[in-house]
């Protein structure tokens, strides 16, 4: 079927955090919300149909997880990314962020250290500090407006760390790491005996002919070392259903992780997430193939608009995710001033760049996963606000 991503869907009645939490986050609801990382598009029709049928059954008790659940995920990963996962090493988790939290608690010592590459999404900071661990930052090197690994700093920081949290593809920079880059990171972690967790939640949202490489697919040796978090929630806009998968390198780590959730009696999908995930990975591909060029065109639109009409704000169309990193330093505003400017002058609800890298000044993150008409209005408002400075 043909999907219409230009359709405006009224989310004001479905308790969407992106809309309902505007006043709490920005001090006003009068902003176009382009912040939290979900999409303003209806999901694939096979998912809607499967959930509708499940709703009509009328009984949603404790729900067993059939073998077909993990098989659907395994088949998707093999088909889309060439990764053949051992089903015996797959575990359920409520979400990738929750998996990160569990990794920090379970696989670092009390008072230990977690390495992150900044800028990176704020939960990497939050989940580390929630368990009393120390954040070790290895800032990316910025060269001609693009960002890359500072390899000397990265290895030096590994020597101080117990766990490395990799974001692949990267949020908010939209980097699709090459196999060579990933292997270099993995082997350095192995050399320094640092646990590697790869957050690959955006792996299906890749553009410009690039290809996502799962870390664990690099070699059998790395597969026996790396832990990977994956989910269909970003791909199919299902974040509210809370389901993800963790792939472990060995049975011992999987047992430790599973016991942690079992001790809180969190080890089953809810009835609807089970149905949605199976339907997504078995019937959602047509929708995704139509979504990807629409998202890519949205990213191109924002990048082109800034280049032509708001040259003081520099950005580019990322190779992955639907999130854009805006360099607003030429506006000459402090982080606090930039925050207020976007809300009260431009009427936009964006993410502050300083939450992705605490030493950074002058950046914002924009979510472009919405109908293009909304983006056009947002960029027009931003242009007017910049011109009025």
pLDDT tens digits, 72-121: 999 999 999 999 999 999 999 999 999 999 999 999 999 999 999 999 99
Q: Are residues 35 and 74 in the same domain?
A: no
Q: What is the pLDDT of residue 268?
A: 85
Q: State which residues form the domain around 116.
A: 61-283
Q: What is the pLDDT of residue 261?
A: 96
Look at residue 110 and tell me if it is in a domain.
yes
Q: What is the pLDDT of residue 229?
A: 98
264: left (phi over 0), alpha (psi -120 to 50) or beta: alpha
How would you class 308 by CB atoms within 10 Å of its CB: exposed for 0-12, middle for 13-18, buried for 19 or more?
Answer: exposed
Q: Are residues 165 and 29 in the same domain?
A: no
Q: Are residues 259 and 169 in the same domain?
A: yes
Q: Are residues 275 and 297 in the same domain?
A: no
Q: What is the pLDDT of residue 310?
A: 98
Instruction: Retrieve residue 10's tokens.
Output: 């009224």
Below-70 pLDDT ranges, the chain: none
Q: What is the CATH number of the domain that holds 184?
A: 3.40.640.10
Q: What is the pLDDT of residue 150?
A: 97
Q: Are residues 293 and 269 in the same domain?
A: no
The CA distance from 319 to 328, in Å, is 20
Q: What is the pLDDT of residue 32?
A: 98
Give residue-wise pLDDT tens across range 110-160: 999 999 999 999 999 999 999 999 999 999 999 877 899 999 999 999 999
HEC sequence for 190-225: HHCCCEEEEECCCCCCECCCCCCCCHHHCCHHHHCC
Contact criterion met (CB below 8 Å) for 364 and 351: yes
Kind of pairing, strands 227-230 and 141-143?
unpaired
- Regarding pTM above 0.85, the answer is yes
Look at residue 53 and tell me if it is in a domain.
no
Q: What is the pLDDT of residue 265?
A: 92
Contacts of 307 (CB under 8 A, 6+ apart): none
Report which of 179, 154, 166, 301 is spatially closest to residue 230, judged by C-alpha positions: 166
Contact criterion met (CB below 8 Å) for 137 and 160: no
Look at residue 52 and tell me if it is in a domain.
no
Report which of 137, 180, 133 is spatially closest to residue 156, judged by C-alpha positions: 137
């Amino acid at each position: 079927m043909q999907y219409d991503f230009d359709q405006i869907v009224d989310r004001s009645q479905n308790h969407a955090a992106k809309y309902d939490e505007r006043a709490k986050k920005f001090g006003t609801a009068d902003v176009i919300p382009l912040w939290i990382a979900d999409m303003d598009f209806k999901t694939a029709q096979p998912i809607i149909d499967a959930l509708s049928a499940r709703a009509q059954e009328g009984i949603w008790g404790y729900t067993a997880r059939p073998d077909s659940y993990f098989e659907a995920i395994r088949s998707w990963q093999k088909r889309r990314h060439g990764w053949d996962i051992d089903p015996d090493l797959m575990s359920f988790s409520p979400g990738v962020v929750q998996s990160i939290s569990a990794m920090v608690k379970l696989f670092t010592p009390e008072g230990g250290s977690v390495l992150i590459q900044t800028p990176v999404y704020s939960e990497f900071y939050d989940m580390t500090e929630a368990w009393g661990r120390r954040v070790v930052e290895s800032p990316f090197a910025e060269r001609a407006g693009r960002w890359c690994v500072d390899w000397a700093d990265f290895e030096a920081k590994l020597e101080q760390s117990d766990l490395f949290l990799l974001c692949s593809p990267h949020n908010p920079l939209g980097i699709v790491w090459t196999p060579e880059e990933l292997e270099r990171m993995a082997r350095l972690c192995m050399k320094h005996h640092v646990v590697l967790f790869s957050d690959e939640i955006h792996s299906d949202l890749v553009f410009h002919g690039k290809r996502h490489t799962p870390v664990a697919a690099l070699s059998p040796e790395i597969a026996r070392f790396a832990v990977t978090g994956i989910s269909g929630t970003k791909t199919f806009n299902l974040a509210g259903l809370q389901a993800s998968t963790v792939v472990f390198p060995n049975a011992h780590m999987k047992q430790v992780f599973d016991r942690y959730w079992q001790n809180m009696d969190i080890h089953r999908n809810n009835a609807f997430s089970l149905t949605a995930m199976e339907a997504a990975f078995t019937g959602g591909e047509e929708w995704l193939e139509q979504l990807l060029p629409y998202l890519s065109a949205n990213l191109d639109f924002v990048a082109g608009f800034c280049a032509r009409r708001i040259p003081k704000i520099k950005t580019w169309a990322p190779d992955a995710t639907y999130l854009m990193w805006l360099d607003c330093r030429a506006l000459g505003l402090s982080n606090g001033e930039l925050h207020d400017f976007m809300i009260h002058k431009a009427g936009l609800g964006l993410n502050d760049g300083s939450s992705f890298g605490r030493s950074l000044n002058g950046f914002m993150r924009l979510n472009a996963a919405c109908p293009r008409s909304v983006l056009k209005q947002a960029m027009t408002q931003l242009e007017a606000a910049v011109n009025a400075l």
